[in-house]
Amino acid sequence: MRFRLPIPASWQDFEFLCEQLWTEIWCDPNAQRNGRAGQEQHGVDIFGRPIYSSEYSGVQCKDKDGRLGSELKESELIKECVKAQKFRPTLATFTLATTAPRDGKIQGIARKLNSAGDLPFDVHVWSWDDLEAEILCRPNLTRCFYTKIPKDVDSNVVRIAASAPREQFLAFFSRPHLADALGPILTDHLVKVVYELCDNAYVHGRASHVQVSLDGAVLTVEDNGKSFNPLTDLDATKATSSGHLGSVVVDSFLRKFRDDI
């Protein structure tokens, strides 16, 4: 049975929860809240430098009362993006985290903003559904914020749909279960090769869904596209500056770790 986490009772609690969550996601112990109440924040409540980037990322927390049907509006997302452009140094990614439920319309608007390329950063929207999934996979957070969570909720299987934004894809690989099972070196290489496999499934395999999961020592990448075996169907000798680069990534990974996997 799936356990649903209660939404924090106040915006202060929600902001603190997000601070601790992104400290783990970014693997940045120096991540912190921006200023104090009453000071200009330029649309950023939390900032830090992700382990996979040399640039800063920022998070804006929007507490919405789901009991009253409150939703994140397009105008709110645009407004916060405009304000975040004034944050210094310039952000590489800007995430709006909300207690509102997942909304396909808002997800689509975020994708359009990224495709347009008019903003200096990538835009992501994390609904409570997305936040809940990450929190449940992080024992430090459940122990701190949800002491009454049933013990049988924790699972050795952690999953993500690869259609999720890149920021969520990277967050998946910072989950403690994966970090403990794989180690930092293997994880760093797996992020690259799994991303290539997922991209290949969408672009060439016409997949509508890709799922990545880790169960014990088995990492699985599944899709519903055309049948494809990367061990036999990828040819690194065909790689050029304009194509087949994914085959080089996979080939390099297999060569480096052939005695370990």
**Beta-carbon contacts of residue 246 (< 8 Å; ≥ 6 apart):** 196, 197, 199, 200, 234
pTM over 0.85: no
Residues 75-108 pLDDT 10s: 999 999 999 999 999 999 999 999 998 888 998 8
Question: Domain coordinates of the chain in residue numbers?
Answer: 1-154, 155-261
Is the omega angle on the peptide bond into residue 89 within 30 degrees of 0, that is, cis?
yes
pLDDT of 186 strictly over 50: yes
Q: Residue 32: which H helix or E strand, with range?
A: strand 32-33
As a CATH number, domain 1-154 is 3.40.1350.10
Task: Report whether CATH 3.30.565 matches the domain 155-261.
Answer: yes
Measured over all CA atoms, what is the biggest interatomic distance in the chain, rounded to whole angstroms? Answer: 60
Residues 233-250 pLDDT 10s: 877 777 676 666 778 888
Q: What is the DSSP letter of 91?
A: P
